[in-house]
Amino acid sequence: MDRYYDVSVAEDGTLKDEEDEVIFTPNGKRVPRSDQLPDLSIKAALALREDLDASIPREEVEEMHAAVMVEVEELQPGCVSTIVGGYRRGKPLSNDVDIVISHPDLRSGAEQVKGLCKKLVQRLYKRGLVTHVTHLSGFHQHNALRTSHWDSLEKALTVFKLPSDGKKARLHRRLDLIFAAPETYWTGVVGWTGSKMFERDLRLWAKKERGMKFDSSGMTRRHDSKMFFPKSEQEVFELLGLEWIDPTLRNA
């Protein structure tokens, strides 16, 4: 069999880094690794369709968040997090669960969270909490023509299942984990809170009215690529020249 070394993270959920060896048979078929996370194949997605289509009540969202942060604390103490998405906008039921995670130390926090997404997903899988991964991305260098710093977000889109409590059957749920560097934590929170229509208009406003580029990974001034690092969610709106809008009023 031929052996190759792959330095990227595959979008199919395969965890790879500089030390991960990817092995192929002579006819080009990948040999599965024993520690490889299972991707959500079409067959698996069909089998879990009813679970994944079911709405998630707020109590379960909070239980999932608590379970995740217990494991985060074991890996990297002192991290902070915010449940975003429809839950943060006050919806009684959610289609999936989105959690933005960071470390509050502005001097070393970026290094504290770098690579933590991959470690957490591996840990959750070993605990039996994550069953499938549909996407996994790590920090990487931006295109030099855009900016000189590495991407401020690590993301894992997973299928998650809480352990049985002996009272009711647990369903498979979609769980998105977003790790942000401390300086982009609040743009990450705003960007992932939604709704899609609200975020679209926010980006359009930033571009047309403020000459800025805004998304969940950060804020920059378009004419000179100057970066802004808001220290709160309110400051995000101040930099955009907008009044504060409560998350429950963003269900556009």
Structure confidence by residue, pLDDT tens digits, 28-69: 555 455 456 777 777 888 889 999 999 999 999 999 999 999
Low-confidence ranges of the chain (pLDDT < 50): 1-24, 31, 34, 140-150
> What per-residue confidence (pLDDT) applies to 146?
46
> What per-residue confidence (pLDDT) applies to 37?
74
Rg (alpha carbons) of the chain, rounded to whole number: 19
| Cβ atoms 48, 35 nearer than 8 A | no
Same fold, 47-193 and 196-249: no
Which class is 47-193 in CATH?
alpha beta
Place of tokens 């792959």: 6
> What per-residue confidence (pLDDT) applies to 139?
54
| Cβ atoms 189, 100 nearer than 8 A | yes
* The 3-state secondary structure of 190-202, one letter per residue: HHHHCCHHHHHHH
| Cβ atoms 112, 168 nearer than 8 A | no
Residue 156: name the closest of 98, 209, 231, 222 by CA.
98
| Cβ atoms 156, 133 nearer than 8 A | yes
Give me the residues paired with residue 39 across strands. Answer: 133
Domain 196-249 fold is Beta Polymerase; domain 3 (3.30.210)
Which residues are CB-contacts of 235 (< 8 A; sequence separation ≥ 6)? Answer: 186
Looking at residue 219, what DSSP letter applies?
Answer: E
Confirm whether pTM is higher than 0.85.
no
Any idea where the domains of the chain sit in the sequence? 1-36, 47-193, 196-249
**Residue 158: enclosing H or E segment and its boundaries?**
strand 153-160
Q: How far apart are CA 163 and CA 172, in angstroms?
A: 10
Question: Sign of dihedral through CA atoms 217, 222, 226, 230?
Answer: negative
